[in-house]
Structure 1
Amino acid sequence: MKALFIGGTGTISMAISELLIEKGWELYLINRGNRNDDKRLKGANFITVDINDEKAVAYKLSGMHFDVACDFIGFVPSQLERDYRLLKGKVNQFMYISSASAYQKPCGNYVISEKTPLANPYWEYSKNKIACEDYLMKLYREEQFPITIVRPSHTYDERSVPLGVHGKNGSYQVVKRIKEGKPVIIHGDGTSLWTITHNSDFAKGFIGLMGNIHAIGEAVQIMSDESVTWNQIYSCIASALGVELKPFYVSSEYLAAHSSYDFTGSLIGDKSNSVVFDCSKLKSLVPDFVATKRADVGLRETVEYVMSHQECQREDPEFDRWCDEIIKKLR
């Protein structure tokens, strides 16, 4: 089997690429080559080109055909329009990574399935994902373009700790605050339910959809069945660091109104909502799918990796100052 990934080395896609290589797929990656020396990608074929240089990409793909192609880095419809021009007639299945954040907010029902409406007025990212899905479904209906839409929730890997409130440089500054015994901002009261999925589990579900004739024309969500509270997530991180957690609770509305960060989108349009995902559709398509990385285990492994790899420790002094200012003001 032959696959083409646009991207292929990110948080979600790296685990998929690694597992595909193990399974003997002939894998091609279109990217700029920033992580192509990763040992986990040994055996992959690299097409080093800027995907936005459509003419150059078309030249490199000339005469090629793939069982599956996937765009991991498509965020707006114009990027998928480009993909369609490049891949029409060259793929048996085109897969697109959308987002569970596209589901209706506020939630009409805390149990989320593929039947849940797509309607998120709070986050531009989510609105763009919905527009991308609409474009692809239109292609499927009118042009028989063989699409499969995949909706992940909060997927993480060993390089970044999954959190709710963090700055532009990622989550390390929050981990550092916990380690140093500083108070840490948690949105709401920390009791809402959330789902985090390790990328190794996501990869198993995703690969089960690749080349799957029953997945054509379908949207499928992939995530763990496990639900945890934000208090549990932050407590697991503190436990992995061997320190006491000092939570400071702030409403999502206040955070959205008093910062330059897009907490309207990422919190009110996503993480402040209490959700439980129904993955029965995925399991009907991929009967052997089971997410086996428990949240507390995955969080501990990620914290240990981040704390032992300096390249993962991207400090964010601006966010640190903002936290101190918010906490001082509210106290």
Structure 2
Amino acid sequence: MTKVLLIGGRGFIGSRLALRCLAAGFSVRVADVELPAVDQITSPDIEYVAGDFGETPDLDQMLDGVDIVVHLVHRAMLLGLDSSMLPEIERNVMPTIKLFDRCLEHPGLRLVFVSSGGTVYGNPDGRRPIAEHAALRPISVYGTSKSMIEKALGLYVAQRGLRALVVRPANAYGPGQLPFKGQGLIPTVMASALQGKPVTIYGDGTAIRDYIHVEDIAQGIVAAMTAGGNGEAYNIGTGRGVSINSLINDHIRPLVVAQGLDIDLRYVESRGVDVSYNILDTAKLANVCGFIAKTPLENGIAETWDWIARGYSRAGRPMAGSSRLP
């Protein structure tokens, strides 16, 4: 049986991906900095190991006996203008390149790098879906770090024979995504409404995003992992966009108002690190790997609201068990 290693597999996307890999018939090992608590184990069929993939002994334990590696880790996602590239390179780029080197010592091993379709392209030349061949012109430290790793991976594929591919998910959302973490507008808006907190919107709210349910991302990664070509990159999105204002006012607010609550929006000056338009062209993943995202935004928003409403109290703190998947 093919064994898949998910580095960072206890995170939001990784947790769903682990279950999806099991469903696809893979044996699954999840590696993260800590072992899960008993009530956080989503399946008894998943093997868990603890360690730091940047440390060689830990990494060797993670890689032992696996056939496919999915790299999901990104330490301290930085978006601010005052963020420095030097610590970002030390935290994320250098350990990942060391991972590439170690993978070369395992003949036949395949690697999937989970990049960021929402940030690596930067601001596109036109307002149309962005295909994989578009230039990578990120405007944030996070996006720059992801694109640097992509470029390094391309070198390893071309010159050193590493078998690998890249997936670029759009803006992820869904049950299990924690609010107030600097990423994940949808759960943050919902939890803020429950707890009576204001929501800060950078800019005027007209920025367009491609929001994709985490289950679709997990299925898209499995599709690329199974049928994707060596050295290729694949967008994982919906091909449809919605403005931040529409997302909040048309999709989230009606659910909040139905519970006798409201959303307090506070608009502030743009940070200068957020792209104004990002919709991913998904034709390549559909044509090559046979995958198309299926979850309508309204369904996914409702599912996420149910999860947030169950897990987050109005007292301002998460309730017990709130991080578990539905």
TM-score, normalised to structure 2, is 0.79
Please name the residue that 1:10 is paired with.
Answer: 11
Q: Is the 8 A contact 2:35 2:49 kept in 1?
A: no
Q: Is the 8 A contact 1:208 1:286 kept in 2?
A: yes
Please name the residue that 1:207 is paired with.
Answer: 222
Task: Give the Å deviation of 1:279.
Answer: 0.5
Please name the residue that 2:51 is paired with.
Answer: 49
CA distances 1:131-184 after superposition (whole Å, capped 9, x unpaired): 10111000011011111011111112313378xxx6749656643543577764
Please name the residue that 2:166 is paired with.
Answer: 149
CA distances 1:34-81 after superposition (whole Å, capped 9, x unpaired): 43633423201122222232124325645x2x3311110056321222
Please name the residue that 2:282 is paired with.
Answer: 279
Matched, 1:95 2:112: yes
Structure 2: how far apart are the matches of 1:146 and 1:124?
Answer: 27
Matched, 1:114 2:161: no
RMSD of aligned residue pairs (Cα, Å): 2.9
Task: Give the Å deviation of 1:118.
Answer: 0.3
Question: Quick one: structure 1 residues 157 and 314, their matched pair in 2 at CA, closer, same or farther if it must change by over 3 Å?
Answer: farther
Q: Indicate the structure with greater helix content.
A: 1
Structure 1: how far apart are the matches of 2:182 and 2:47?
Answer: 32
CA distances 1:99-157 after superposition (whole Å, capped 9, x unpaired): 1244443321222110111012x311111111101110000110111110111111123
Q: Is the 8 A contact 1:179 1:238 kept in 2?
A: no
CA distances 1:299-329 after superposition (whole Å, capped 9, x unpaired): 121122112114898659xxxxxxxxxxxxx
- 1:304 pairs with one of 303, 306, 312: 306
Q: Name the count of aligned residue pairs.
A: 294
Structure 2: how far apart are the matches of 1:220 and 1:157?
Answer: 21
Q: Is the 8 A contact 1:11 1:155 kept in 2?
A: no
Q: Is the 8 A contact 1:70 1:94 kept in 2?
A: yes
Matched, 1:82 2:98: yes
Structure 1: how far apart are the matches of 2:245 and 2:182?
Answer: 22
Please name the residue that 2:69 is paired with.
Answer: 69
Structure 1: how far apart are the matches of 2:120 and 2:18?
Answer: 27
Structure 1: how far apart are the matches of 2:315 and 2:136?
Answer: 36
Q: How does 1:307-322 map to 2 (within 5 A)?
A: 307-310=309-312
One-letter amino acid matched to 1:114:
E
Q: How does 1:240-259 map to 2 (within 5 A)?
A: 240-241=255-256, 242=258, 243=260, 248=265, 250=267, 254-256=269-271
Structure 2: how far apart are the matches of 1:14 and 1:59?
Answer: 20
Look up the SS of the partner of 2:226 in the other structure.
coil
Task: Give the Å deviation of 1:196.
Answer: 0.8
Structure 2: how far apart are the matches of 1:114 and 1:245?
Answer: 39
One-letter amino acid matched to 1:233:
L
Q: How does 1:189-200 map to 2 (within 5 A)?
A: 189-200=204-215
- 2:235 pairs with one of 211, 221, 233: 221
Task: Give the Å deviation of 1:246.
Answer: 5.6
Structure 2: how far apart are the matches of 1:244 and 1:186?
Answer: 19
Question: Quick one: structure 1 residues 224 and 173, their matched pair in 2 at CA, closer, same or farther if it must change by over 3 Å?
Answer: closer
Q: Is the 8 A contact 1:223 1:291 kept in 2?
A: yes
Unmatched segments (≥5 aa) in structure 2: 76-91, 319-326
Task: Give the Å deviation of 1:202.
Answer: 0.9
One-letter amino acid matched to 1:128:
S
Structure 2: how far apart are the matches of 1:304 and 1:294?
Answer: 16
Q: Is the 8 A contact 1:67 1:93 kept in 2?
A: yes
- 2:141 pairs with one of 115, 119, 124: 124
Unmatched segments (≥5 aa) in structure 1: 257-263, 317-331
CA distances 1:267-324 after superposition (whole Å, capped 9, x unpaired): 2xx3xx123221001111222x2212111211121122112114898659xxxxxxxx
Matched, 1:29 2:30: yes
One-letter amino acid matched to 1:228:
V
Structure 1: how far apart are the matches of 2:181 and 2:236?
Answer: 26
Structure 1: how far apart are the matches of 2:254 and 2:103?
Answer: 48
**Structure whose alpha-carbon radius of gyration is higher:** 1
Q: Percent identity?
A: 19
Structure 1: how far apart are the matches of 2:317 and 2:153?
Answer: 39
